[in-house]
Chains A and B, each alone.
Chain A
Amino acid sequence: ILNVEQSPQSLHVQEGDSTNFTCSFPSSNFYALHWYRWETAKSPEALFVMTLNGDEKKKGRISATLNTKEGYSYLYIKGSQPEDSATYLCALPLANDMRFGAGTRLTVKP
């Protein structure tokens, strides 16, 4: 069974703080890792697809790194804003579907 773990489960930060959270996965048979952002009442939105060990991807104030040898990915948000409040999901593709972690729920207080 492929277990995808995310931590912390929830996070509260002040506007302007930088933050990061973790996605852990089995390092064997790694193929790719997807990060999604899911705002309340909206559809999950794809952020990054990461494939290579050492990958670093950036989109505005959000960036992600990947370590396939030790089985983790970090998502960083620099200078958090209230609009960053969302649940951040990571997922690993299987043969025909995606295996998701439980997500990290981020709340950014003004």
Chain B
Amino acid sequence: DTGVSQDPRHKITKRGQNVTFRCDPISEHNRLYWYRQTLGQGPEFLTYFQNEAQLEKSRLLSDRFSAERPKGSFSTLEIQRTEQGDSAMYLCASSASGTGVGNTIYFGEGSWLTVV
């Protein structure tokens, strides 16, 4: 399977702990996106990378959140000092060339985070 893969699929952590999620995009895609989805809502944009450059961050991405894509391939999303409000599904997606007409973004299966 050469789709977008995310790890771990599920994470339960205690409030105050740090967590890190990994995303491996489709290999030839230069754009990588992180979204967050909570119950009853659609996916909300967090940030995106073009190659290794992080070009946009949502205001949802507080200073406890950091994302990297060091070599323009896989990406990590770290949440420091987790809070219960961080409980959500974190979705990674990739695309060949952005969200223009005819360009589809392809999603991974998501990483569920539960903060207890």
Q: Which residues of A contact B (CB under 8 A)?
A: 4, 6, 9, 31-32, 34, 36, 41-44, 46, 49, 51, 89, 91, 93-103
Contact = CB atoms under 8 A, between A and B. Distances in A.
Interface stretch (B13-21, B62-70, B72-80, B95-103): B95-103
B33 interface: yes
Interface of B is mostly: loop
Interface string B1-32: 00110000000000000000000000000000
Given A42-B109, A43-B109, A46-B106, A96 B42 contact: no
A97 B56 CA distance: 9
Interface of B: 3-4, 33, 40-45, 48, 55-56, 91, 98-110
B43 A96 contact: no
Interface of A is mostly: loop
A97 B33 contact: yes
A49 B109 contact: no
Contact of A43 (B3, B40, B99, B100): B3
Contact of A49 (B55, B56, B98, B101): B101
